[in-house]
A and B are shown apart, each in its own frame.
Chain A
C-alpha cells in the first residue's frame, strides 16, 4: 500500500521511524532474554510499552498494517504481564514473526513509502490472534480456580475426552481442532502421530465439536473478566491511563533527546576529510618549522612562530581525536543482532547454543562496523553449523550439552580485537590439508611441510570450503575467502586458532579508524610508495651476502631467522633498476616477509583516498594519498600484494 505524506507529516514520519528503529532494535535481545526468564515482569512491561508507543505513532500516521500487528503483540504482552497467558516457545516464534514483519514494514516505509497490504499480514494476524484466543481459554481457567499456580492453569478436560486428543490440544494451545489437524498433516511423516489419532480428530471435527466443547468452562464470557479482576484491567478499558503513561515515557525521551543531536553521516564525512587535510598541512608546517629552526638564526619572531606552531599542532591533534570520536559507535549495534541469529539457527539445526557477548561497549569507526556485520554473521553461522556438535554428540564427548559461542570485542592500542570463539569440534588440520590438495591449492609435498597455523590459513584461500555438503545455513556461496578479503580491505587481519575436539577461535584485528593511517614512505624505481606501519615489523639495511637463493625464491637471513625476500618492484611486476638499500620486514597473515626497497623516506601520517571505481580492485594497492607538494603516493596493501604468490609460498619457509 502506498502512502502519501505532506511535508509536515514527513517530519513526524521521520521522528516516528527513528523511534520505531530504537524500539525494534532492542526488541530481539529483550525477547530472547524473556525466553530464558518468561516471568520477568520488567521485561514484559518494557516490551508492552514499546509496542504501545509504536502502535500510537503508527496510528497517528495511518500506517494501518503496523498498527494492527503492534496492537496484537501489545495485547499478547498485556496478557503475559497480567499472568493471563503463559509464554511458550511456539508463541515466541509467532511473536518473532510479528516483530520481523514490523521491521520489514518500517524498512518498506523508509525505502519506498509503502506498507505491506492487508493481504500480506492476514496470516500473521490470524496467528497472533490464535495466541490471544488461546489465552482467553486459559484466562477463564485461571479465574475459575482463583489461583495462578502453573500446574493448575493447565486445561481441564470434560470427562470422556480421548487422551491423545487431550495431548494434542495441550500441544497446540490456542488452535482449534481444524487448525491442529492441518498442523499434523504438515508435519514430516516420522513426526506425525499415528493414523488412528488423526482419524479420532477427524471424527470429533465431523461431529461439529471444537476445543471449547471438550474442556470445562464455568465462566463463559471472558469479556467480563476485567470486572472480576479489577486489579488487572485489560488495556482497552484503560486507555486514559495507558496514554498518560505513554506521555510520561515520551517526555522522558524528549528530555534525553536534548543532549543528543542527529547529524547526517555525510556531514561528518566532510568534516573528517577536512580534518585529514588539516593534519597533513600541520605535518608539513611542523617539518618546515624545524627546517627553519636549524637554518636560521634564532630571533624572537622565530621563537614565537615555533611556539604558536606547537600550540596549533596540539590543537589539531585534539581536533582530529574529537572528530574521530564522532564516527565511533559501540559494537553493540552489530552484536545485538546475534542473540536472534543464534537462537533461530540453533533451533533450525537442533543444537543447543548459549551465546555470550563481551565488550559490547567497545567503540569502532562506523564505516568499519557497517562492513563487519556480514563477516561476523558468516563466522557465527559457521561456528554453529560446523563447530558446535549436536547435544547427543556433545554428551558423548563428555562436554556440556549446551554449546557456547562467545563474541567479544576489546581495544588493544590503536586496534580493535574482535573474536568469535566456540567450544565445538574444532578444525581437523589433516582434513583441511587433504581438501586443499584435492582442490589443487597446494601440492601434496607442501601439505606435508606446513604448520597447523599455515594450514588454517588455507581456509581463507579462494575456492576452499570444508563443509562436506553445502548446507543452506553456511554455504551461501560466500566463503571464508570473502570474509578474509573484507577484513583485509578494512586493513585488518584475521587469524584462526583451533584445537581438535576443543573448539575454534577466529581473531580479527581491526584499525580504530579508516581515514588516517601512519605509513612508512619507501622508494622503488624512483617512485614513492607508502607502506602502512601496522604491517611493518622491522627495517634493516640491505646486505647482499645475507641473500640466498632457495628454489625459485630468494631468502634473507636476519639474526637466526630466514625470511623470503622479494623486491617491491618484482611484486609490482616492474623491472629492477637500482641498487637495493633497505629491507622492510612486513607481516602478511602468519608470515613475515622481507621486501627490498631502494630508498627510505621515513614515517608519515597520511589520509587515505580511494582510487575511484575504475581502479577499485588493483592488487597490492590499498588507495592513495596526496603529499604536501601535491604529488600522488600509492599506499601498498601488503596482503593482496603477495596474493598471487601465496599458494606457491605455502610451506616454503
Chain B
C-alpha cells in the first residue's frame, strides 16, 4: 500500500514539473521552437493580399475568421536564404504586442515538451538570426534517436515596434 502511495506521489511530482511546451517548425533546415502560449493558430493555403508601400518582409494581410491579420516573412525579416512558398503558405499565427501576426514557415513539425533547465545559451549567429531574439538552444532526440538542435525564438520580442 505504502509503496503505491509513494509511487503516486512521484508521478504527480513529475506532472507539475516546470516543463514548457513548444510548437516547432522549420525555417530552411533549422528547427525553430516558439512557446505554445504565443501561438494562436496554425493555418495553411491562405490567400495573402499584398499591401503596397510596406517593408519587404511584410507579405501582406490575410483573413482569419473575419479579422485581418498581417503576414510576415521571417526569412526576409532576418535576411535568411531561401524563399517563402507563397503558393501554398504554411502560416503560424502568433500573439504579439502589436496584435495577432502570421509568420510563414516551411514546415510545421509539431509540439514538444522541453525542460527549461536544459536550455543552453545561443551560439553566436548560429542560424543567421540576431541572438537578441533567441532565448537559447536545446538538444532534442526523436524516437529513432536522431539528435537535433532546436532554436528557441522569442516571438514577442521580434514584434515590438522598436525592433521593426
Contact = CB atoms under 8 A, between A and B. Distances in A.
B150 interface: no
A348 interface: no
Nearest to A640: B53
Given A621-B51, A633-B49, A614 B68 contact: no
Interface string A558-589: 00000000000000111000000000000000
A121 B164 CA distance: 46
B52 A620 contact: yes
Interface string B143-164: 0000000000000000101001
B99 A612 contact: yes
A614 B53 contact: no
A609 B68 contact: yes
B36 interface: no
Contacts of A624: 49, 61, 68
Interface string A604-623: 00000111111100111100
A249 interface: no
Contacts of A626: 63, 66, 68
B159 A614 contact: yes
A630 B51 CA distance: 17
A614 B101 contact: yes
A619 B51 contact: no
Nearest to B98: A613
A612 B68 contact: yes
Instruction: Name which of B51, B54, B164 has the most chain A CB atoms within 10 A of its CB.
Output: B51
B66 A527 contact: no
A615 B63 contact: no
Contact of B70 (A527, A615, A619, A631): A615
Contact of B63 (A527, A618, A620, A630): A630
A277 interface: yes
B69 interface: yes
30 contacts: A527-B50, A572-B52, A573-B52, A609-B68, A612-B68, A612-B69, A612-B70, A612-B98, A613-B97, A613-B161, A614-B70, A614-B72, A614-B99, A614-B101, A614-B159, A615-B54, A618-B51, A618-B52, A618-B53, A618-B54, A620-B53, A621-B52, A621-B53, A624-B61, A626-B63, A631-B49, A632-B47, A632-B63, A633-B49, A634-B61
Given A573-B52, A621-B51, 19 more contacts: A527-B49, A572-B53, A610-B68, A611-B70, A612-B68, A612-B69, A612-B70, A612-B101, A613-B99, A614-B98, A618-B51, A618-B53, A618-B54, A624-B61, A624-B68, A626-B63, A632-B62, A632-B63, A632-B68
Interface of A: 277, 527, 572-574, 609-615, 618-621, 624, 626, 630-634
Interface of B: 47, 49-54, 58, 61-63, 66-70, 72, 97-101, 159, 161, 164
